[in-house]
Chain A
Amino acid sequence: MIWPWKQPRHPQARAYKQCQRKAPGRRDIAENIRFIVLDAETSGFDRAKDRMLSLATMRIEDLELHLSDMNSWLIYQADAGLTEAVNVHGILPSETADGESEQAVMAALLPILGNAPVVGHHIGFDADMIDQAFRRHFGIRFRNCLVDTAELAMRELDAFARTGYANQRPPTLEDLCSHLEISMVDRHTAAGDTFTTAQVFLTLCARIQKRLKRDLQLRDLS
C-alpha cells in the first residue's frame, strides 16, 4: 500500500512507479525481457552541475534490436554552460534551443523505460543524470535495473579482464567496437552511440549464452 499523498502528481510518473513493482526477476530469461538501450550526451561530466543535452533509446526484445522503435531527443537547457564536453559531442548550448524542455522529454521517457532493464555503456553516469532529472521534475527516483556494457565486457572478454590494478580504466565504446569488429556509426551522437551500444550488448549476450550453455538470464547480465 502506497499512501496517496506519497504518490507523485504526474500521471506518467505514477504509472512508472506502479510498474516498477512488476520488474523482471533475476532469473527471468533474457529472451523474454524487454531491454531499453540508452545513451545521453551531457554538457559535462559533473553529475551535480551538468545537464543532459540529448538522449536516445532503442528497444531490444527477443534479443533483437528493433529499429522501428527508436527515440531521440534534443533537450533545451537554458542554464547549461559551455564545458569541455562540448568538444566531444559538438552540441552547443545555443543549439539545444531547438530542443524540447527537459520535463517534456523525461515525461516521454518514463513510459518507454517502464520496468525494463536499461542497457548502456558506462550507464551509471547516464542513470545519475536521469535520476536527478526525475527528482527535479517528478520527485521520483530512477529505479530501473542497469546493465553496463563496459562492466559486461570486463567480465566476459579476456582482453578487458580486470587486472587488479586500481588504475585500470574500463574499456571505451571504441575499444569494444574495434575488439568485436563492430563498425561504429555517428560516434558521440546519442542515437549513434545507442545503436553501437546495442550491437555490443547483443554480441556480448551471444557470447555469454554460448559460454553458459543455457538460456541467458537477467542475473547473468547485471
Chain B
Amino acid sequence: MKAETIAIRIADFLKDYPPFKFLQKDDLVDLASGGRVKFHEADEIIFSQGHPRNQFIHVVQQGRVKILESTPKGEKLIDLRGRGDLLGLQGVFNEDPYVHTGQTEMETILYALPRKKFTDLIDQSVEARRYLAAYFSLNPAYHWSEHGDGSTSVKGSDHPITLRKGGLLEVGPPQSIAKDHLVTATADCSIREIAGMLRSKRIDCVAIVDKNGHPLGKVTDAVLRDRIAEGASLGGTAADWMQHSLGTAPPEDSTGQLLLKLAQGERQFLLVTENGGTDSRVVGIVSERNLFLQYGRFPTVVGEAIAYAPDIRTLRTLRDRMESLILEFIENRGTLKWLMEMTGVLNRKMTQRIIELAQQEMHSAGMTPPELDFTWLMMGSGGRDELLIRSAVYHALVYADPDKSQVESAELYFNEMAKRVSNGLRQCGFHESVQGVLAKNPGWCLPLSAMKERFRKFIEEPSSTHVYSARDAFDFRSLTTDCPIATALRNTIRETIGANPNFIRYMASDSLLNQPPRTIFQGYVVDNMGIQREELALKFHALLPLVDVGRVLALESEDLDTTTTWQRLERAAENLRNSDPATADVLHEAAEAFLVAQYARISRGLRAGTDGAVIRASDLDAETRALLVTAFRAILNTLEWMASRYGLTLRS
C-alpha cells in the first residue's frame, strides 16, 4: 500500500544513524509507521527534567536540541543533539522520569517513535545495545567486557586476547595448545627415556610429576645440553636432572595473562595446573614457542631482546617495534588494561637495560661503583604504567645513605649514572618532563634520607615547594617489585601525610583545575560556556583530572603501592561500595572513563604519530564519540564529588 512510502522514507533517514543502523529495514519501517512528526520553535521545551516520560523517544530530523540539567545553581549544558541524534534516552529502559531537560536551540523537526517498540527492537540487536550502552554508562559489560554480567551481551573481548594480526596459525584457545604440548614423566624415569621423549615428540620440555600428577620439576632441552657441556655423565633418573623452579598458571588464564607471566618471570615454560599452584594435577604446558605458533608476534620476544640489547640504538629500534605491536593490539578495546601492564613491564625492562649499559660504560671509563644499593624510580605516567605512547617521562634515582667518607664519591657516581640513563631514555624517544622531574636534575638524584626529606617538605609546605608541578613524583614505582628503598620512601610519605592532613585537601583542590568539555557535537568540542573548538585536549581535559583525583584518593587511603589510575579509582570505589554505593558508582564510572579516554588518546596518537594529548574531534568514530561524551560526564561527576568531599568549589 502506498501509505507505507512515508514510513519507508523515514526509515531511510533513520538507517544512516546509530543505533538505527543496526536494525533491520523492515523493523525501522514498522517503527516509523507508529511514530509522529513534531515541529518545535527555537527555545521550546521538549521534555522536562523529573517529569514522567511519554510513550515516545525522539530523534532530531532537523535542527538542534540542548540537553540541560537543572541544578540549584541554575541550568547546566550537558550535551547538544543534532540531526539523527536521539533524545531523552537516559532511563528509557526503566521508565524513569526524564533525567534532563531537552530544549530546542533553533527550529527543530523531531520524529517521535513509539518507545516500547523501540526498546523491544534494541533488545533484539546486540550491536544496537552495545551502542546505546555508551549513552547510559561506561558499563564494562559492554565495552571492556572482562566478566560481564552473564547476559548475552557482546563478548567480543572476553576471549583470550586475540592477537591475530601477523599471526602464523590460528590454533585455538591457549588451553588446548597447552594440552597438546604436555608430556609428563615420573621422577624415576631414566634420563635416556626422557631424552627420547624430547626427540620423538618434538618438544622442548618434559614435566616431571609425582604419582598424583602433581608437578615436581621439569627437564628441558637446555638442561640436558648444559649439564652435558658441564661434563655430567649420561646416567641417572629424571629426579637427578630436573629443575625444581617452576612457573605455574591456572587453566582459566588468557593468552594475555600467560604472556605476562612468561615475561615477568623470565621463564620459558609455564605449567598449567588444575588450581594454578604446584599442589594440583598438571594439565598442560605453555612455552613461548608454542604460543608463538598461535600468535606469531610477541611482546616477550621484544622483552628478551631488550634484556640483551648491546646498545642504546638497538633499544631505540626495539621501542619502535614495541610501539608497532601496541598499535596492532589496541585495535581491540578490551586489550587496553593488559596492554598498559605489558608496556609497563617492557618499559621497566628497557630502563633496566639502559642502567646496565650505563654502568658498563662507566666501568670501562674507570669509574668504580660505590657499594650502595640504589633504585631507579619511574614517576608520572611511567610510574603509573600508563606510558604507552612516548610522552613525557618523569624519573628519579635514590641510593642508600652512604658513610661520611663516601658521600662525595657516591654523589659523583650516581649523578653521572643518572645523567647517562636520562640521556639514554631520551635517545629512546621519550620526551622529558617540562617540570624537570628527571634524575639528571639536582634534587631528583639523592640519597634516601635526602629524598625522604624532599617529600616531607612537599607534604608539609605544599605551596612554597610548588608540589603541583612535582605531583607526578608521588606516582613512583621502582624497577623491581620488592625494593627496600622505595618501601622506606613510601613509609615516610605515609607518616608525613598522617601528620599533615591538610596536604590532601591541598592536592584535592589542585585536582579540580582541569575540567572536561561538555560534549562533542558535529565534530566540535563544546565547553561549559558553549564555545566550540575543533581540537580536543584529551590529556588536559580528560586524563589529567582523573589522574589527579586518583592520586589524591590513593594518598588519602595511604595506598601508595597502587599507582595505576584506573585501579586507584576502582579501589576507592570498592572501599565505598558498602558505605556509599552512589559514590562508588561515580568512581567506578571514573575508572571506566579513564580507560575510554586513554584508549582514544593512545589509538589516535599512535596512528597520527603524535603523543595524542590533543586530537581532532571530527576524526572520532561514532562509538568513541559517544563513549567520550559519557566519559566527560563521568569526569565532571567525579570532580563535583571531589569538590563537595573536600569542601571546595568547582569553577563553572
Contacts and interface: CB of A to CB of B under 8 A. Distances in A.
A67 B10 contact: yes
B38 A186 contact: no
A198 B41 CA distance: 16
* Interface of B, helix, strand, loop or mixed by DSSP: mixed
Contacts of B107: 203, 206
Interface string A195-209: 100110011011101
A191 B2 CA distance: 7
B32 interface: yes
Nearest to A184: B9
Q: Name the residue among A195, A198, A205, A207 with the largest chain B CB count within 10 angstroms.
A: A195
Contacts of B37: 64-65, 67, 198-199, 202
B33 A67 contact: yes
Contact of B9 (A68, A72, A181, A185): A185
A192 B6 contact: yes
Contacts of B33: 67-68, 70
Contact of B109 (A67, A70, A74, A182): A182
Given A186-B9, A202-B37, A72 B32 contact: no
Contacts of B286: none
B38 A195 contact: no
Contacts of A210: 41
From A68, A198, A205, name the one whose CB has the most chain B CB atoms within 10 angstroms: A68
Given A71-B3, A186-B5, A192-B6, A64 B38 contact: yes
B243 interface: no
A210 to B, nearest CB: 5
A191 B112 contact: no
B17 interface: no
Nearest to B36: A64
A189 interface: yes
Interface in B1-31: 1-3, 5-7, 9-10
Contacts of A198: 37
A63 B38 contact: yes
A66 interface: yes
Contacts of A192: 5-6, 9
A113 interface: no
A65 B3 contact: no
A152 to B, nearest CB: 14
A13 interface: no
A129 interface: no
A207 B36 contact: no
Nearest to A202: B39
Contacts of A195: 6, 9
Interface string B32-75: 11111111110010000000000000000010000000000000
A147 interface: no
Contact of B7 (A64, A67, A189, A203): A67
Contacts of A205: 39
A72 B33 CA distance: 14
B5 A202 contact: no
Interface string A149-165: 00000000000000000
B60 to A, nearest CB: 14
Given A67-B33, A68-B34, A181-B62, A203 B39 contact: yes
Given A71-B3, A186-B5, A195-B6, A207 B34 contact: no
A66 B56 CA distance: 12
Contacts of A181: 62
Contact of A72 (B1, B41, B109): B1
Nearest to B108: A206
Contacts of A183: 62
A52 interface: no
B456 to A, nearest CB: 66
A202 B9 CA distance: 19
A45 B62 CA distance: 34
Contacts of A54: 2
B32 A67 contact: yes
Contact of B34 (A64, A67, A209): A67
Nearest to B111: A67
Contacts of B9: 185-186, 192, 195
B2 A56 contact: yes
A191 B109 contact: no
B38 A65 contact: yes
Contact of B36 (A67, A72, A209): A67
Interface in A42-99: 54, 56, 58, 63-68, 70-74
Nearest 6 CB-CB pairings of A with B: A202-B39, A65-B37, A72-B2, A185-B9, A206-B41, A64-B36
20 contacts: A56-B2, A63-B38, A64-B36, A64-B37, A64-B112, A65-B38, A67-B34, A71-B3, A72-B3, A183-B62, A185-B6, A186-B9, A189-B2, A191-B2, A192-B9, A199-B109, A202-B39, A206-B40, A206-B107, A207-B41
